[in-house]
Amino acid sequence: MSLAPTMPRAGDPHALAQRLRHRILLQAPNETSDGAGGSSISWDDVATLWAEIVPLQAGRYERVFAEQLGERLTHRITLRYRADINSTHRILFGERLFNIRCVVNVGEAGVILEILAEEGVAL
């Protein structure tokens, strides 16, 4: 018997809604010139969203993604589909910071996004 969460069917919004119990803040980088040839990055709030945050079994995802991403993925964050999320964004959950490493449109259906993220490291 598998203890892994099962994905709701694309046509079953109620099953997905029951899993989205974490309130997260999506942020986008805003690069500002410092006037001396350099720049600084601040973070703008984009949206407050409901999500499911699940710690990963590191070995499983490191074997699959390590050669492609070169990162240690620590969490899978699932939310309703949004076309405007990419790996330049980050997620704030309370005091915890997640850097987005990969965004997957589950089943290419435009219903569910799975974000593979790394917690607590600089970009």
For the CA atoms of 105, 111, 116, 121, the dihedral, rounded to the nearest 10 degrees, stands at 120
Which residue in this structure is represented by tokens 């703008």? Answer: 44
Per-residue pLDDT of the chain (123 residues; tens, 9 = 90+): 444 545 545 555 567 778 899 999 999 999 988 888 888 899 999 999 999 999 986 554 444 554 554 447 789 999 999 999 999 999 999 999 999 999 999 999 999 999 999 998 665
Phi and psi dihedrals of 74, rounded to 5? -115, -25
Say what the pTM is: 0.73
Q: Provide the residue ranges of all domains of the chain, joining segments of one domain with +.
A: 16-119
What is the Cα–Cα distance from 25 to 72, expressed in whole angstroms? 22
Classify domain 16-119 at the CATH class level.
Answer: mainly beta
pLDDT at 79: 95
Q: How far is CA 38 from the centre of its chain?
A: 29
